[in-house]
Structure 1
């Protein structure tokens, strides 16, 4: 308590003062019961605080006696409402932008032969080499080397070449008949493409018959391939069409080399009907390629991957048929 002096109202003298009691002013900040209050730009709710923008998430807890304010920082991150998840991009396959036929072409590159030696490509489908000659392991090159191994001379025989024509006709007869007679709408796109080979092969075999050449029945490579294709016709049209495409691809890409070799060595320069087309064969094949790419847009990635596996099988089977020429 303090004393305050005020002049007495009955006294005129300035020296006369009156002593009055006076309470000591209280300072609220010095009170032992004062609890500091922290003002935040958030709405305070008992035992919980809303997060404010541009602040790290915190949880404010108050004790029962309102004497302690504890803050606990959270380490987990909560995605804001409406925020989009990060997009995961799938790996691009070689040729994927151009279409399924370009993807199959990249697979064929890995199976190419260079002067009778098989070039081993990387096990993945991403790194590829040059374009395959189209015969999937049974091709021939300009130097006369075959696909039978390094150092083996490619010497075609008349008997072997006729067997090659017979097995080729067996395969082309089957795929062209399926495309013409099937009720599946995807097969109808590939009717009367101008690439058909059955009629030309029939003419060639008839000419050989007139030359007193014995025409044998289809051998094991051709029969085995047709049997395999029979299992794909109803099971999966995309897989069958991948074989359909690669059969013509291998014949067009590698057939010209074979025709030149055989014509010079066995037929005195005669050109067979098997290697003749009405019109530009590149333009005809381009039409088939565009149609298959159009259908491929509706196939899933797993189905396309299976088509790439079937490409290897197709080129392998066609290569086995080509090897009949030197047997």
Structure 2
């Protein structure tokens, strides 16, 4: 690849941090929940229909629905949909993983995802020029991230839901690699790793609770945490390493099992699609609606770095 000058590396990293800092505000894009109501009045939209309408709006479906009765809502791209088509989710024909991907991509900014990003960039707490990773911040990020991955791995091994067993030993697990990285960090730089008591611990507690009460919502976090790390997370890791670790590649960003990362992700996607086949449409929508919370909690972790 073409080498970057130090200034280019810094600018690219700043752009990534700046765009990832929008995750908390972008969470509002999908975090709205539609309360379930009982005893709905005749003629009123059912809870499921309300939820579906919310999901369509949240995913940026592009259908500017109006009160054009009769043959279905008029759409922004010039044709009407009947009720059956109106209930379709973007990506639904390709499987539920594609639905999750579509929702997640809509929560990125145009800078992060030029074709699909819809979220508005957040106003920065710091000017971009001040986004400078630190070893102390990065070590804390690793420690807090390990709390999240420890929780994920323990949850799928717990058998709290029959579906979780399919997600044991996918090859995407990160806790063991993080433990090695934290040990290397402390030995190399003479630093002490604190106990996770910040955003990672908060996220881990949240995951343990939600995994017992709503497996579909937990699966949303499982998908977003692992798959985001394999993409944007890897880029951030490389850039930060170039800036403060002399290019050291951490275990957190290595997938060494046979077949490599692509094979692991393909197998895991197939398992996610199989699991979702057993869900009702309402359960699928609850999973999609959890995307905002996943982005919010992951964003808190990323902000530890700088």
Q: What interval of TM-score do these two structures reach, taking the shorter chain for normalisation?
A: 0.5 to 0.7
TM alignment of 1:194-233, pairs within 5 A: 194-211=171-188, 212-233=190-211
Please point out which of 138, 155, 158 is paired with 1:181.
158
1:192 shift after superposition: 0.8
Aligned position for 1:124 = none
Shift in Å at residue 307 of structure 1? 0.6
1:130 to 116, 119, 139: 116
2:274: which partner in 1?
Answer: 294
* 1:223, distance to aligned residue in structure 2 (A): 1.8
- TM-score normalised by structure 2 residue count: 0.66
Q: Match for residue 84 of structure 2?
A: 89
Unmatched segments (≥5 aa) in structure 1: 1-86, 120-127, 139-145
Change (3 A) 1:137 1:88: closer
Residue 142 of structure 2 is matched in structure 1 by 165
Report how many residues are paired.
Answer: 220
State the Cα distance separating 1:137 from its structure 2 match: 10
**2:263 corresponds to 1:283:** yes
TM-score when scaled to structure 1?
0.62
Instruction: Report if aligned partners of 2:110, 2:117 keep a CA contact under 8 Å in 1.
Output: no
Structure 2: state its 5+ residue gaps.
Answer: 1-81
Q: 1:296 to 1:259 in 2, by over 3 A?
A: same
Asked which structure has the greater RCO (Cα within 8 Å, sep 6+), the reply is 2
Is 2:234 the partner of 1:239?
no
1:82 alignment partner in structure 2: none
Query: Which of the two has greater helix per residue?
Result: 2
Structure with larger Rg? 1
CA contact (8 A) 1:101 1:293 kept: yes
- Provide the rounded CA distance (Å) in 2 between the counterparts of 1:261 and 1:290: 31
Query: Which residue matches 1:58?
Result: none
Q: Any conservation in 1 of the 2:134–2:305 contact (CA below 8 Å)? A: yes
Supply the distance in 2 between the matched residues of 1:137 and 1:251 (Cα, whole angstroms). 22
**Could you say if the C-alpha distance between residues 252 and 295 of structure 1 is closer, same or farther in structure 2, counting changes exceeding 3 Å?**
same
Q: 1:150–1:99: structure 2 CA closer, same or farther, 3 Å change rule?
A: farther
Q: Distance in 2 between matches of 1:130 and 1:147?
A: 21
Q: CA 1:293–1:219 in structure 2 vs 1: closer, same or farther (change >3 Å)?
A: same
Work out whether 1:152 is the aligned partner of 2:147.
no
**Whole-Å Cα distance in 2 between the matches of residues 110 and 235 of structure 1?**
27
Measured on the aligned residues, the alpha-carbon RMSD in Å equals 2.7
Contact 1:167 1:221 in 2 (8 A): yes
C-alpha separation in 2, matches of 1:191 and 1:198: 13
